[in-house]
A = this chain, B = another copy of it.
Amino acid sequence: MTRVLYDLCGCDEGLRFSPYCWRVRYALAHKGLDFNTRAWHFTDKEALAFADYDKVPVLVDGETTVTDSYEILRYLDRAYPESPLIGDGLAAARARFFKHYAERALAPAMMRTIVMDLYNAIAPRDRDYFRETREKRFGRTLEEFHSPAKGLAQLDAALAPLRGQLEDGDFIDGEAPAAADYLVFGSFMWARVVSTADLVSNADPVYGWLERMLDLHDGTGRNAVRITDIEGAYR
């Protein structure tokens, strides 16, 4: 078994919260592919030097190394064509929108809501790095950026089209999940692992979809270690 996923970990090696790595974990499960994970820290840049990259996910599949979650999904469709994730033609063009929807509409709203929980879940050795890079990106301190009231209002607005989609069918990709579901769900796993914040009310069609996504592939999401599973870790 030579398939290895470099996977971001938090204050416990078992705490895996990267939204991008979650996309890949679900994509590998979707293809029925076995893999081992290697716990990686934000500041372990040299551990990824072999891949000429400085972030995870990095997938090593035999002789092949692939970086970037979206590129890994594309690679998996090329190398293992059965059960397409992204698909071809119009399907592929449209799949990309869900990457942007997750990264530019949902994640920023969630970040605003959970950033202090996220900071708390990060390994102590990575916290200075996280604070420095994120404060530069946000243009303010984590504490100033943190605003669950604003974040939840922003998320509520951003979820409007997803609600419509999930009133029409069980998954974003129709009767069964594929890349669009995994691209978006990764961000929800990220929040779930580090925080107990209720992002979606149980009357929301998105809630039912989250439950279905958690159960997929033998409960890979539902069984993930959360910060509350680690004694003394949740402030």
Question: A-side interface residues toward B, CB under 8 Å?
Answer: 84, 86-87, 89-101, 103-105, 108, 154, 157-158, 160-165, 168-169, 171-174, 178-180
Contacts and interface: CB of A to CB of B under 8 A. Distances in A.
A111 B124 CA distance: 48
A91 B93 CA distance: 9
A173 B154 CA distance: 27
Nearest to A174: B93
Question: Which among A90, A161, A164 has the highest number of chain B CB atoms within 10 Å?
Answer: A90
Contact of A172 (B94, B104, B171, B180): B94
Contacts of A100: 160-165
A84 B100 CA distance: 24
A97 B180 contact: yes
Nearest to A166: B100
A-B pairs, top 10 by smallest CB distance, nearest first, are A100-B164, A93-B174, A94-B94, A90-B91, A104-B160, A91-B91, A100-B161, A101-B161, A87-B90, A93-B173
14 contacts: A87-B89, A90-B174, A93-B174, A94-B98, A94-B172, A96-B165, A97-B97, A97-B98, A97-B162, A100-B160, A105-B160, A108-B160, A154-B157, A157-B158
A110 to B, nearest CB: 14
Contacts of A172: 93-94, 97
A130 B105 CA distance: 32
B105 A173 contact: no
Nearest to A164: B100
A109 to B, nearest CB: 9
Contact of A91 (B89, B101, B165): B89
Given A96-B168, A97-B172, A161 B105 contact: yes
Contacts of A108: 160
A71 to B, nearest CB: 13
Contacts of A95: 90, 94
